Amino acid sequence: MIPSPITSLVRATAFGILTFAAAFTGLPRLVAADDARPVEDSSKIATQEVRDKSLPTIFLVGDSTVKVGTKGQKGWGEVIAPYFDLSKVNVVNRAIGGRSSRTFQTEGRWDRVLADLKAGDVVIIQFGHNDAGALNDNSRARGTIKGVGEESQEIDNLLTKKHEVVHSYGWYLRKYVADTKSKGALPIVCSLVPRKIWTPDGRVARAKDSYAGWAADVAKSAGVPFLDLNEIIAEQYEKLGKEQVDALFADAHTHTTEAGARASARCVIAGLKALPGNPVAPYLSKEGQAVEPAAVH
Please check the confidence at residue 69 and state whether its pLDDT lies above 90.
Answer: no
- Say if CB 117 and CB 59 are below 8 A apart: yes
CA torsion 276→282→285→288, rounded to 10°? 0
> Would you state the pLDDT for residue 214?
98
Secondary structure of the chain in HEC code, one letter for each residue: CCCCHHHHHHHHHHHCHHHHHHHCCCCCCCCCCCCCCCCCCHHHCCCCCCCCCCCCEEEEEECCCCCCCCCCCECHHHCCHHHECCCCCEEEECCCCCCCCCHHHHCCHHHHHHHHCCCCCEEEEECCCCCCCCCCCCCCCCCCECCCCCCCEEEECCCCCCEEEECEHHHHHHHHHHHHHHCCCEEEEECCCCCCCECCCCCECCCCCCHHHHHHHHHHHHCCCEECHHHHHHHHHHHHCHHHHHCCECCCCCCECHHHHHHHHHHHHHHHHHCCCCCCHHHECHHHHCCCCCCCC
> Would you state the pLDDT for residue 39?
61
Least confident of 20-29, 31-40, 74-83, 214-223: 20-29
pLDDT band at 71 (very low <50, low <70, confident <90, very high): confident
> Would you state the pLDDT for residue 40?
60
Largest Cα–Cα separation, the chain: 57
pLDDT band at 42 (very low <50, low <70, confident <90, very high): low
> Would you state the pLDDT for residue 246?
87
Mean residue pLDDT of the chain comes to 86
- Domain 5-29+48-129+168-289 in CATH: superfamily? SGNH hydrolase (3.40.50.1110)
- Share above pLDDT 70 across residues of the chain, in percent, rounded to a whole number: 84
**pLDDT tens-digit series, residues 113-150:** 999 999 999 999 999 989 999 999 999 999 999 999 99
**pLDDT tens-digit series, residues 231-283:** 999 988 888 888 888 888 887 788 888 888 999 999 999 999 999 999 999 99
Please check the confidence at residue 10 and state whether its pLDDT lies above 80.
Answer: no
Please check the confidence at residue 219 and state whether its pLDDT lies above 70.
Answer: yes
Least confident of 12-26, 37-51, 116-130: 12-26
Please check the confidence at residue 196 and state whether its pLDDT lies above 50.
Answer: yes
- Share above pLDDT 90 across residues of the chain, in percent, rounded to a whole number: 67
pTM of the model: 0.85
